[in-house]
Amino acid sequence: MTGLIKRAIFVISCIALIWPYHVFAADDAVKVKSKGGNALVTRLEGTAFLLKKNTSELSRILRGESLTDGDQVTTDADSRIEIKLPDNSTIRFDEETTFALTSLAVNEKEKKRDVNVNVVIGKTWANVTSFLGNRGGFAITTKTAVAGVRGTVYRVNVNKDNSAVVKVYWGEVVVSHRPLTSTYDASGKLAQPLKVPAPHPVSGPYPVSMEEWTFIVKTMNQITIKQDGTATEPEQFKPEDDTNDWVVWNQTLDKEIAR
C-alpha cells in the first residue's frame, strides 16, 4: 500500500469519527450571533484536509483560507496548522489531529462569545484571549470531557482510546465530565444542548466517578481523563519534564503573539 493511499485512509477514518461527537455549547444561556463566523488559517506546515459542512468531498487547506462553523479538519503526518479565531484567540494542531469548529459565535457589542472546538484525536494548543465581560466562553471538548476557559494558555492531548490529558501553562481551565448519553440530531449536534456545570472542587486523591465531576486546573497543573470518562485529581508538572518539539514550537510562537 502506497504512502498516499495510507494517508487517504487515515484522513477519511478520522473525519468519519467526528460526526457522533460534536461539541455542545459551553453556556446554553448564551445565544449570540457570529461576527462573520470565520476563523483564519494563519500558519500551515505540511498538509491539512478540510471537509466543509454539508459536503462529503475533502479538499486541501491553504494558508490564508477562512474556516467557519461546522468545518472539519485533519492534519497529515509531519504537518501542523495554526488558526486565528474570531475572538483573536490562537489555536494550533499537531500532526495527525482531527477536529471540528463547532461554534465561532462572537458578539463584541454585547461582549459575548461562544467558541467551541471538538477534538477527536491528536494534540491541540490554545492561547485564549481574555474576553471583556467574560460572558459566554471558550471550550475544547473531547468525547468524554469539556475544557472551558476565559483567557489562558493550555494544551489538550486526545489519544486513540479517547483518554486525554489537559495541561495548563498559564491561567485556569475548568475541566468537566461530558455525558455520553446525550441525544444527537441528524447533523451530529446535540438535540438539546447541555449546560456545563458551575465550577466546584471535587475531593479526592482517588479517581472520580464518571457520573459528574468538575476540576479547576491551575497554572502548571495537569489532569488526566481516562478512557472510561473518569478523571484523576489535578497534579503539578515540571517544565523540564514537559520539553519537547511540540511544546517548544508553540511557546516560541506565543512569544511572537505577546510582542
pLDDT at residue 133, as a whole number: 54
Q: What is the mean pLDDT of each run of 10 residues along the chain (259 residues)?
A: 49 45 30 57 97 88 94 96 93 97 85 88 93 69 88 92 94 83 35 38 44 88 93 93 93 88
- What per-residue confidence (pLDDT) applies to 37? 67
Domain count, the chain: 1
Q: Which residues pair with 45 in a beta bridge?
A: 80
Task: Return contacts of 240-249, CB within 8 angstroms, 24+ apart.
Answer: 242/167, 246/94, 246/123, 246/125, 247/155, 249/80
- Supply the range of the domain harboring residue 217: 3-258
CB 83, CB 65: distance < 8 Å? no
pTM: 0.77
Residue 61 sits in a domain whose CATH number is 2.60.120.1440
Report in angstroms the alpha-carbon separations of 202 from 129, 171, 172, 199.
27, 19, 16, 10
β-pairing, 135-141 vs 112-128, is parallel
The pLDDT of residue 7 is 55
pLDDT number for residue 153: 94
- Give the model's pLDDT for residue 251: 95
In this prediction, residue 258 carries a pLDDT of 76
Q: Which helix (H) or strand (E) holds 146?
A: strand 145-149
CA separation for the pair 183, 191 (Å, rounded)? 6
Nearest-CA neighbor of 172 among 214, 219, 233? 219
CA–CA distance, 114 with 112 (Å, rounded to integer) = 7
